């Protein structure tokens, strides 16, 4: 996270956020705490997802960082600076804030909504204008088209993107996001999540992200903090480590019985060792191919065209007799996957086809190798096997 900001100007990268024995109690001393002595350090530029069942204090924890809720005890620092030592409004202007219902100001245009914090900070109008256009571009909304519109004229997804742009306006090193994609339908949520991850690759903010959805947490997080009722930290680790080694029965139940499957979303095809296929071109002799298939673990040959793009599988039955191979016998529909494809998507594609092998291709659709269902399950098993009993 040390490369210069593509946004040009000052370009605040992420800040380190540290919570030190932070407690929030709504009643007098002795009543149960909403958040109990929570200690957590979020490295600069990472997305930390706070996740847990309702009542676990995840939103309370997040709101204590920008002091929408004042902690009862403990300290919270941003890049070493105690949040209690700044006036609350000044602190909040330095922290991006995105909420589920977005909360765009209905009486302001999209451009004016994005410019809200810069105006509070008394930036010069030309600078606000420039920054607004830059941010709308960044979230994929054409400034000339969307800038003059009122929020009522936007779709749910567009509003959420304006909300993100507004939070980024003053280039804060830290963003707080409270179930930001919770109010949109699953398809649009998936798209917004991917967009945000791509955006985060560019801006590299520290992000505290609250959700109750484990799958969203696994997808978005560099690190996940799983909280349980009473604001007790059950586990704080990378998604992979949490899925592979849940620290307690609570975590195991919370991430779900299908945590093996969930880990598939973390792995990519490029993480696996590829198998060498038996590549066949049209016109090769059957006997020849038969002999090449002897002694290799895969019982299918892969027919490719002259550009090395896969055409289909040829099995033993197609190779009986003699003479050259007829390209028409290849059974089509070999699923192709790219190195970037998640293991979950790859597995899904492979299970849906008759030959359960995935053909890995490069960006020009040329064959790189094969993956098998066994290889994926092997990859899943490996780290889990290390778990101490």
Q: Which residues bind to another protein, rule: CB under 8 A? A: 66, 68, 88-93, 97, 99-108, 116-117, 120, 150, 152-153, 166, 176
Q: Please, which residue, 177 or 218, has the CB nearer to another protein? A: 177
Say how far apart CA 98 and CA 114 lie, in whole Å.
Answer: 12
Say how far apart CA 246 and CA 137 lie, in whole Å.
Answer: 41
Q: How far is the CB of 152 from another protein (least distance, A)?
A: 4
Q: Please, which residue, 123 or 150, has the CB nearer to another protein? A: 150
> What is the DSSP secondary-structure string of 284-304?
-BHHHHHHHHTTSS---EEEE
Q: How far is the CB of 56 from another protein (least distance, A)?
A: 20
Q: Please, which residue, 106 or 295, has the CB nearer to another protein? A: 106
207 phi/psi in degrees, rounded to 5:
-125, 130
Q: How far is the CB of 68 from another protein (least distance, A)?
A: 6
Q: Tell me the pairing of strands 81-82 and 73-78.
A: antiparallel
Maximum CA extent, the chain: 89
Q: Please, which residue, 150 or 250, has the CB nearer to another protein? A: 150
Secondary structure (3-state) at 240: helix
Q: Tell me the pairing of strands 357-361 and 367-372.
A: antiparallel
Q: What length is written for the chain?
A: 389
Contact (CB, 8 A) for 147 and 109: yes
CA 255 to chain centre: 16
Contact (CB, 8 A) for 297 and 308: no
Q: How far is the CB of 89 from another protein (least distance, A)?
A: 4
Q: Please, which residue, 175 or 224, has the CB nearer to another protein? A: 175
The two three-digit tokens of residue 41, written as one number:
């350090």
Which residue in 11, 221, 255 sits closest to 134, CA to CA? 11
Say how far apart CA 49 and CA 210 lie, in whole Å.
Answer: 6
Q: How far is the CB of 243 from another protein (least distance, A)?
A: 32
Q: Please, which residue, 117 or 234, has the CB nearer to another protein? A: 117
Q: How far is the CB of 114 from another protein (least distance, A)?
A: 11
Contact (CB, 8 A) for 227 and 51: yes
Q: How far is the CB of 210 from another protein (least distance, A)?
A: 13
Q: Please, which residue, 17 or 334, has the CB nearer to another protein? A: 17
Q: How far is the CB of 274 from another protein (least distance, A)?
A: 48
């Amino acid at each position: 996270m040390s490369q210069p900001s593509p946004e040009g100007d000052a370009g605040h990268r992420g800040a380190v956020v540290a919570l030190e024995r932070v407690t929030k109690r709504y009643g007098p001393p002795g009543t149960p705490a909403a958040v109990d002595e929570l200690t957590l350090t979020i490295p600069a530029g990472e997305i930390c997802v706070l996740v847990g069942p309702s009542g676990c204090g995840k939103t309370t924890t997040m709101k204590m960082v920008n002091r929408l809720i004042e902690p009862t005890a403990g300290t919270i620092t941003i890049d070493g600076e105690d949040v209690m030592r700044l006036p609350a409004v000044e602190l909040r202007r330095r922290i991006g804030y995105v909420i589920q219902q977005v909360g765009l100001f209905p009486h302001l245009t999209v451009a004016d909504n994005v410019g809200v914090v810069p105006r509070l900070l008394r930036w010069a109008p030309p600078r606000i204008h420039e920054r607004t256009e830059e941010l709308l571009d960044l979230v994929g909304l054409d400034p000339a088209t969307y800038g003059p519109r009122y929020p009522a004229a936007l779709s749910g997804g567009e509003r959420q993107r304006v909300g993100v742009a507004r939070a980024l306006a003053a280039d804060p090193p830290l963003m707080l996001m409270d179930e930001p994609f919770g109010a949109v339908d699953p398809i649009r949520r998936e798209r917004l999540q991917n967009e945000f991850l791509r955006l985060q690759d560019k801006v590299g903010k520290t992000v505290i992200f609250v959700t109750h959805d484990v799958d969203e947490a696994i997808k978005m997080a560099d690190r996940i903090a799983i909280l349980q009722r009473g604001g007790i930290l059950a586990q704080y680790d990378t998604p992979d480590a949490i899925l592979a080694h849940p620290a307690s029965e609570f975590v195991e139940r919370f991430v779900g019985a299908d945590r093996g499957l969930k880990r598939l979303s973390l792995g990519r095809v490029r993480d696996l060792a590829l198998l060498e296929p038996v590549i066949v071109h049209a016109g090769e002799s059957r006997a020849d191919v038969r002999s090449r298939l002897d002694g290799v673990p895969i019982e299918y040959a892969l027919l490719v065209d002259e550009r090395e793009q896969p055409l289909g599988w040829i099995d033993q039955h197609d190779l009986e007799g003699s003479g050259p191979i007829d390209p028409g016998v290849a059974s089509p529909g070999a699923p192709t996957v790219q190195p970037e494809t998640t293991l979950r998507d790859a597995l899904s594609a492979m299970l849906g086809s008759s030959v359960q092998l995935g053909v890995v291709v490069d960006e020009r659709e040329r064959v790189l190798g094969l993956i098998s269902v066994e290889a994926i399950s092997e990859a899943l098993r490996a780290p889990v096997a290390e778990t101490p009993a």
